[in-house]
Amino acid sequence: MKKILYIIMILSGIISLTGCLDGLDQFPKTETTSGNVYNKAENYKMVLAKLYASFVLSGQGKGTIDPDISSNSGYDYMRSYFNLQECSTEDIAFTWIEGDNMTGIAYIGWDANDLWVSDFYYRAYYTIALCNELLRNSTDGKISGFTSQEQSDIRSYKLEARFLRALAYSHVLDLYGQGPFVTEENPVGAFIPVAYNSTELYDFITKELMDISEQMSLPSDIEYGRASSGAALSLLAKVQLNAGVYLGTSKYNECLETCKKIIGMGYSIEPQYAKLFNADNHKRTNEIIFPLCVDAAHTSTFGATTYIICGAVSMTSDYMNAEDYGVVSGWSMFRARGELVDLFPEGDTRGMFFTEGQQKYLDVMTNENNGYYVTKWTNLTDEGLAASNTADGVNTDYPMFRLADIYLMAAECVARGASGMSLTEATALINKLRERAYGDNSGNIDESELTPDFILNERGRELYWECTRRTDLIRYGLFTSSSYIWQWKGGVKDGKGVDSKYNIYPIPESDLSANPNLSNKNY
C-alpha cells in the first residue's frame, strides 16, 4: 500500500509540492531549501506571489511546461475547477468528451478514478501545502531578525496565506464534502493526515475567515490582485449561504449579516456588464472584490480565463471569427446547453450568445453546431482591441468574487426568511442588477416576485460560467434530482435524474489507498 507523502520543496526560490500519485519516485529539481528562501525578508513576497499564481498556473513554464506536481493532465487549478463546477450542469455542452476524459463530468457519471476529480483534488491540496509552508515560516520567532517594517509586511502576507488556504479548503468542502486536514502545525515529510468531515471543515473555514477579516487590509489599502478584508468576507458569505448543505442547518441570518458588511464597504455596480469579463477588467475594482490575475506576459496559462475564452470560440465555424473576441484561434471546447439560453428573456443583455450557424438544443453533445457559443468572456480591451496573442494566453482576469453575487446572496437570504434587511431593500438590490441588464427599469421586479426560485434563475443569468451553477443547484436540491432536468443530464438526450451521491465528488482512489482515514460513502 502506498503511503501518503506531502513533500515541500523549493524550486528556483518558489515553493513546489510533489504528490504521491505514482509512487515515491519524484525528487526536487534543485538543492534550494526553505532555509535559504526564508532567510531574506524580500523572498516572502515572492512566495506569496506563488500562492496566488497556484490558482491559475500549472507550473513554472508556459502552459503545462515544467509542472509543479505530477498529475494525469497537468492543467491548472481553475481549469479543473471550471470543469467540475460548470461542465456538469446545463451551462456547458462539452465538445471533446473522450479526448479530454470529460464523459463522467459532462453526463454526471464519474467515479473515484475520474481524471478531473483527481486533478482538482491534488491541485487544491498543493495550494494548501504552499500556504502552510509560508505560515510555518512566518511565526514571530522565524521573522524576529527582520526590521519592524519587514515583520509588519510578513504578518500581512500571513493573513493573505490564511485566506488563500481557506479558499482552497472551501472548494474541498464544496466539491468533496470531506478531506485530509493539514495546517502549518503538521510536520513536513511523510505522515497520514486526519480526515475532516464537512462540519469540521466548515467550522475551520468560517473561524479562520472571521478572524482574518478583522485584520486584513481594507479594499482601498491593498494593491490590485491581493486579497482584502472584502475578499475574506465574500468567501465567508458564500460558505455561510451553503451551510444547509454542509451542516444540515441553514445560516441565512449569518450570511445576510456578512453580506451587509461587504455592501457597506464602498463597492458599486459596474455600469456595463460585459466590461467585467474583458481584458481591461482590472479597472473594475468598484465591483470586482477579488480577482485571479491572468496576463500573457506573467501568468501564461492554458487554463483559467484562457480556457474559458478560447474554449468558447469555434475553430471550424464559417461565421464566427476568433479575432472578434481578441484571440488568434478558437478551441471549440464548449457551448451553452439550450436550458441556459432559455433563462434569458428578451431584453436581458446578459445573455451573450453567438447563434449564427448554431442550433439551440443538442441532438449530439459533441456536435460543434449544437448549442450556442457564449461570448460573455473576451480578450478585448475597452477599445475593442485584442489585448494579447493566444500563443501566450489572454489578459482577462478571473473575478472570483464580485458585488453582484453579494447582492444576490443577500436577496436570497431575505427571500428565505432571514431577518436584518427588508424585502423592499432586497428587491432594490436585485433591481440594480436588472437595470444594468435591461438598460432601464423595464426588467424590474416587485417584492412579490422576490422568491427563492426567482433568485436561482437570476443567479443563473447573472453568474453563468462563473463557477457557481453546480453549487447553486445543489443548494436548491436540483442538481441530481428528477425535478429539474436538462439535455444530456445523466447521459441521455432528454435528461434524467441521477443518484444523489453525485452531489459530491469522491475522494480519488489514489488517496483512499494512501490514507486509511478517508472513505467514500456510496462510491
For 306-328, the DSSP string reads HHHHHHTS-SS-SS--GGGGT-S
CB 378 within 8 Å of CB 309: yes
Spatial separation of the C-alpha atoms in residues 400 and 213, rounded to whole Å: 17
**376 belongs to a structural domain:** no
Q: Specify the CATH number for the domain of residue 73.
A: 1.25.40.390
**329 belongs to a structural domain:** no
Residue 17 has pLDDT above 70, yes or no: no
For the stretch 305-353, pLDDT in tens is 999 999 999 999 999 999 999 999 999 999 999 999 999 999 999 999 9
Spatial separation of the C-alpha atoms in residues 427 and 407, rounded to whole Å: 10
For the stretch 83-127, pLDDT in tens is 999 999 999 999 999 999 999 999 999 999 999 999 999 999 999
Residue 495, by phi and psi: left (phi above 0), alpha (psi -120 to 50) or beta? left
Spatial separation of the C-alpha atoms in residues 391 and 296, rounded to whole Å: 8
For β-strands 178-181 and 14-18, DSSP reports them as unpaired
Spatial separation of the C-alpha atoms in residues 209 and 125, rounded to whole Å: 19
Q: Which of 55-69, 74-88, 321-335 has the weakest average pLDDT?
A: 55-69
Model confidence band, residue 63 (pLDDT cutoffs 50, 70, 90): low
Give the number of other Cβ atoms within 10 Å of residue 140's Cβ.
Answer: 9
- Residue closest to 210 by CA, chosen among 248, 175, 257: 257
For the stretch 410-456, pLDDT in tens is 999 999 999 999 999 999 999 999 999 999 999 999 999 999 999 99
* Mean pLDDT score, 70-78: 78
CB 18 within 8 Å of CB 69: yes
For the record, the C-alpha cell of 502 comes out as: 453525485
**95 belongs to a structural domain:** yes
The Cα-based distances of 330 to 80, 324, 357, 368, 495 in angstroms read 19, 11, 16, 12, 29
- Residue closest to 35 by CA, chosen among 175, 161, 188: 188
**168 belongs to a structural domain:** yes
For the stretch 466-522, pLDDT in tens is 999 999 999 999 999 999 999 999 999 999 999 999 999 999 999 999 999 999 989
**125 belongs to a structural domain:** yes
**172 belongs to a structural domain:** yes
Count of domains for the chain: 1
**502 belongs to a structural domain:** no
What is the pTM for the complete model shown? 0.93
Residue 129 structural domain: 5-208
Q: Find cell 510533489 and name the residue.
A: 18
**77 belongs to a structural domain:** yes
Model confidence band, residue 28 (pLDDT cutoffs 50, 70, 90): very low
Q: Please state, rounded to an integer, the average pLDDT across all residues of the chain.
A: 91
Model confidence band, residue 8 (pLDDT cutoffs 50, 70, 90): very low
- Quick one: pLDDT at residue 26? 29
Residue 6 has pLDDT above 70, yes or no: no
